[in-house]
Chain A
Amino acid sequence: MKMEKAILAAVTTEDDRVHGSAAVFKCDTKEEMEAVAANLEAILDGIAHALSDQLYIIVKH
């Protein structure tokens, strides 16, 4: 199956921001969040989009 336009993961520094079925990675600092998002981007073949300073999502296009 070819997956198109799906949120693969969310990376956030705010505990209560994200809920749901996608994998959520909670980080302590912005730097940690960026590092986790960069790794996930490479691993999942997705693009890290910034929705706000506290929330990144990894999206498969």
Chain B
Amino acid sequence: MNEYTYPIILGILVGTVLRVFMLRTDYRQYPTYLHGKIIHLSLGFIAAALGTIAIPSIMEKEFTAVTFLTLAASQFREVRNMERNTLTEMDSYELVPRGNTYIEGIAVAFESRNYLVIFTSFVVTLCYLALNIWVALAAAVVCFFLSGMLMSGSKLSDIVTVEEKPISFDGAGLYVDNIYIMNIGLPERQEEIMKYGMGFVLTPKEFSVRSTIANLGQRQAILHDVSVTLGVFRDSGTPALVPLIKRDLNDGRIGVFILPQEKDSKRAKEIIEHVPVLENAIQMPSRKGRRNHS
């Protein structure tokens, strides 16, 4: 036991608890049960330890020890690769795949959460050693709030309005409102689609949103989320029963055609509104004008 023992224990503890707090198992199905969770909790523990020992090392004038953090950075980039590979492998077996943009978003989130853990442990240990334990605990609470804030991105309802619209056939053409979706030839498929299908139209709230919701990865994420939560009326070998999203080229609206097993329009609307806006899909064309004028 020395003067660093308690600060190090506190730093590691707070970091690991933060990782537990940030580990969510939800409809995205990942991390699933025990094993997936253990991988992330262990890496969280390692991240916390790395963040914590940086401070005592500096205080002992062991500056080279800080270079361990670079090692951590490369390790956690590996975490991102690991997530990406696992999810891409799994994706080919999904009835409605997630799509690469969604996978990349999840992988980035896993990597960044480890950095948040390093940062938190670093700050907590610093506060303990430089000031006292109460300041360290206060810093821990602030870090929890900050992490919670940084972790939550925006959702679709922030950028679009979602309305349920009827689906209809004009000859063989399937329409959601007035947006053409696809050509369905067989009358029996048409009947199934009229029975199970639902249509929604997403209208962008402002101009720069158009390119975000037009992003194919973002559209795939919407279809995946709805299909995972409400089930999907299809099987392998029935390509005619694929949920689809098409764009109205005139005004940038998006027509969503889904085939849920559970036809609950209120819930479907809620789910679409809660689909995360993918980091990689966000574009800000309106910023360009602003920068030119300022």
Contact = CB atoms under 8 A, between A and B. Distances in A.
B186 A37 contact: yes
Interface residues of B, number: 14
Interface string A21-61: 00000000000001001100110011111100000100001
A38 B240 CA distance: 11
A42 B237 contact: yes
B227 to A, nearest CB: 17
Q: Size class of A's contact patch?
A: 10 to 19
B172 interface: yes
A47 B171 contact: no
Contacts of B205: none
Contacts of A49: 172, 183-185
A41 B171 contact: no
B289 interface: no
Given A50-B171, A50-B172, A37 B185 contact: yes
Contacts of A47: 182-185, 239-240
Contacts, number: 40
Nearest to B188: A38
B193 to A, nearest CB: 12
B97 to A, nearest CB: 14
Nearest to A49: B183
Most A CB atoms within 10 A — which of B171, B182, B183, B184? Answer: B183
Nearest to B240: A47
A34 B239 contact: no
Given A50-B171, A50-B172, A45 B186 contact: no
A29 to B, nearest CB: 14
A42 B186 CA distance: 12
Interface of A: 34, 37-38, 41-42, 45-50, 56, 61
14 contacts: A34-B186, A34-B187, A37-B186, A38-B186, A41-B240, A42-B238, A45-B237, A45-B239, A47-B183, A47-B184, A47-B185, A48-B184, A48-B189, A56-B185
Q: 4 closest pairs, A vs B, by CB?
A: A50-B185, A50-B172, A48-B185, A49-B183
Interface of B: 171-172, 182-189, 237-240
